[in-house]
């Protein structure tokens, strides 16, 4: 296991009983671990033309921004409803209980733009699939998806179903 991955901290029963929250903040707090984690996330995509990282509020922003600089591309944020000014596109998705939604600014991606979806954790896959749906509605080409950490036991990868290459820098 790379050194940076040992800084991911398990927090039992957060944000609710029975959930083991994967806290990536100690990775970001350490200069060397942060750099190594971003390099690990960048590795599969270095030789591909990518116009923009499309990253998901909020921890996806913390990884997506340095990754965009590492890969030399732009960044388009997907935010919780009501945060982005101007015309937006909304994508609703199911959670274990209830629904959530992500929004993108209309016109933030040119049709045909080559994008990489980025988030911190792949759990059941619903969030990444919603991001993919939004990117498709904007007529972007999803080159792939990258996460820092994949929780394999939740089978998000099966739900993702190979719709684009999916890379996790660490799998637990």
Tell me the catalytic residues. 59, 96
Check binding of 123 to ligand AMP (CB under 6 A): yes
59 near ligand AMP (CB under 6 A): yes
Nearest to 157 by CA among 132, 118, 133, 124: 124
Place of tokens 């015309």: 87
Which region among 26-34, 83-91, 120-128, 161-169 touches ligand AMP (by CB under 6 A)? 120-128
124 binds ligand AMP (CB under 6 A): yes
C-alpha 2/C-alpha 87 separation (Å) is 42
122 lies in the binding site for ligand AMP (CB under 6 A): yes
- C-beta of 47 vs 96, nearer to ligand AMP: 96
**Smallest distance from ligand AMP to CB 89, Å:** 19
Stretch that binds ligand AMP, among 30-38, 62-70, 84-92, 122-130 (CB under 6 A): 122-130
Query: Residue 98: left if φ>0, alpha if ψ -120 to 50, beta else—which one?
Result: left
Determine if 21 is a binding residue for ligand AMP (CB under 6 A).
yes
Q: How far is CA 47 from the centre of its chain?
A: 20
C-alpha pair distances (Å), 170 with each of 63, 110, 134: 14, 31, 26
Interaction site with ligand AMP (CB under 6 A): 19-22, 56, 59, 119-127, 156
């Amino acid at each position: 296991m790379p050194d940076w991955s040992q800084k991911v901290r398990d927090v039992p029963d957060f944000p609710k009983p029975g959930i083991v929250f994967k806290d990536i903040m100690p990775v970001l707090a350490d200069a060397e671990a942060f750099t190594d984690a971003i390099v690990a996330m960048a590795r599969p995509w270095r030789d591909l033309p990518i116009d923009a990282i499309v990253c998901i509020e909020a921890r996806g922003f913390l990884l997506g921004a340095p990754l965009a600089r590492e890969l030399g591309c732009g960044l388009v944020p997907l935010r919780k409803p009501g945060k982005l000014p101007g015309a937006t596109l909304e994508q609703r998705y199911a959670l274990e209980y209830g629904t959530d939604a992500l929004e993108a600014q209309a016109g933030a991606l040119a049709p045909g733009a080559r994008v990489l979806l980025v988030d911190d954790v792949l759990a059941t896959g619903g969030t990444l699939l919603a991001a993919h749906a939004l990117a498709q509605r904007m007529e972007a080409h999803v080159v792939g998806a990258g996460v820092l950490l994949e929780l394999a036991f939740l089978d998000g990868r099966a739900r993702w179903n190979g719709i684009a290459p999916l890379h996790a820098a660490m799998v637990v």
